[in-house]
């Protein structure tokens, strides 16, 4: 199984900050990596797919990069609506697996 | 707008069965892989099962193989998860999700397995 390890688990930041979240995979794979945003009481929302493709309707301040064993989600300028939990998910091989999540909180 | 609405959750004793349903709308259901994903209380997300567009290919996480069956009815735009021999550790919110390189999620339905 591919284990996905996210870091940090919690991140304190201010509006306008550049934020980077990392997912490290226990095995290398190319690009079947997605990022999601989750807020309490709501269904998770896809942000990035295939490691770096921006989901339609998602602001361009969100970007994804990486391949192999290290993938990153970057928010170029944190906005008030971005305080949420973010998690990664690989679909390169079964069983598909998720990172444990990164909570982005207000500093 | 993509809509996925799960139903069928509830409380059941260990060893019991439940059937979850997911009603899909806002897209051509038969064009997409569909999945079930769950989150146990206080734990992370776990992918449970996939089914391809015509139902001919199904995949499961090891912990549910032989107990859970994913199925679909494209004429009814519906996805199902038959859960048998339920265990306490199956307690979770179960999400229906559409897959196309990323998940679009429903709101989830709670399954509680307890004596």
pLDDT tens digits, one per residue of A54-70: 999 999 999 999 999 99
Position A91 confidence tier, pLDDT thresholds 50, 70, 90: very high
pLDDT at A107 over 90: no
In this complex, the residue of B62, B101, B105 whose CB is nearest that of residue A43 is: B105
Quick one: average pLDDT of A7-19?
Answer: 96
Residue B82: exposure state from Cβ atoms within 10 A (0-12, 13-18, ≥19): middle
pLDDT at A14 over 90: yes
Position A72 confidence tier, pLDDT thresholds 50, 70, 90: very high
pLDDT of residue B80: 98
Q: Can you spell out the DSSP letters for A37-75?
A: EE-TTS--EEEEETTTEEPTT--TTEEEEEEEEEEEEEE
pLDDT at A30 over 90: no
Q: Residue A89 and residue B105: Cβ atoms within 8 Å?
A: no
Q: Residue A32 and residue B101: Cβ atoms within 8 Å?
A: yes
pLDDT at A84 over 90: yes
Q: In terms of Cα–Cα distance, which of B78, B26, B25 is closest to B51?
A: B78
From the CA of B14, how many Å to the nearest CA of chain A?
25
pLDDT at A82 over 90: yes
In this complex, the residue of B46, B99, B105 whose CB is nearest that of residue A44 is: B105
Q: How many other CB atoms are found less than 10 A from the CB of residue B2?
A: 12
Q: Residue B102 and residue A43: Cβ atoms within 8 Å?
A: no
Mean pLDDT, chain B cut into blocks of 10 residues (115 residues total):
96 98 98 97 95 97 98 98 98 97 96 97
Q: Residue B44 and residue A43: Cβ atoms within 8 Å?
A: no
- Residue-wise pLDDT for B31-59, tens only, equals 999 999 999 999 999 999 999 999 999 99
* Residue A3 in contact with partner chain B when CB distance is under 8 A: no
Q: Chain-wide mean pLDDT for chain A?
A: 96
pLDDT at A41 over 90: no
From the CA of B8, how many Å to the nearest CA of chain A?
18
Q: Residue B44 and residue A99: Cβ atoms within 8 Å?
A: yes
Contact (CB, 8 A) for A14 and A78 = yes
């Amino acid at each position: 199984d591919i284990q996905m390890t996210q870091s940090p688990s919690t991140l304190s930041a201010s509006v306008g900050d550049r934020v980077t979240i990392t997912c490290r995979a226990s095995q290398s794979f190319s690009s079947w990596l997605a990022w999601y945003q989750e807020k309490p009481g709501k269904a998770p929302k896809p942000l990035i797919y295939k490691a770096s493709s921006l989901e339609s309707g998602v602001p361009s301040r969100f970007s994804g990069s990486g391949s192999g064993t290290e993938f990153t989600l970057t928010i170029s300028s944190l906005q008030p609506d971005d305080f949420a939990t973010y998690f990664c998910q690989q679909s390169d091989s079964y069983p598909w697996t998720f990172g444990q999540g990164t909570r982005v909180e207000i500093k | 707008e993509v809509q996925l609405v799960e139903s069928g959750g509830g409380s059941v004793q260990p060893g019991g069965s439940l059937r979850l349903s997911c009603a899909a709308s806002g897209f051509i259901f038969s064009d997409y892989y569909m999945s079930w994903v769950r989150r146990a209380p206080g734990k992370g997300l776990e992918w449970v099962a996939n089914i391809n567009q015509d139902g001919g290919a199904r995949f499961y996480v090891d912990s549910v193989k032989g107990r859970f069956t994913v199925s679909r009815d494209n004429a009814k735009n519906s996805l199902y998860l038959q859960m048998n021999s339920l265990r306490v550790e199956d307690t979770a919110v179960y999400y229906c999700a559409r897959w196309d390189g990323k998940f679009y999620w429903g709101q989830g339905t709670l399954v509680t397995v307890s004596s």
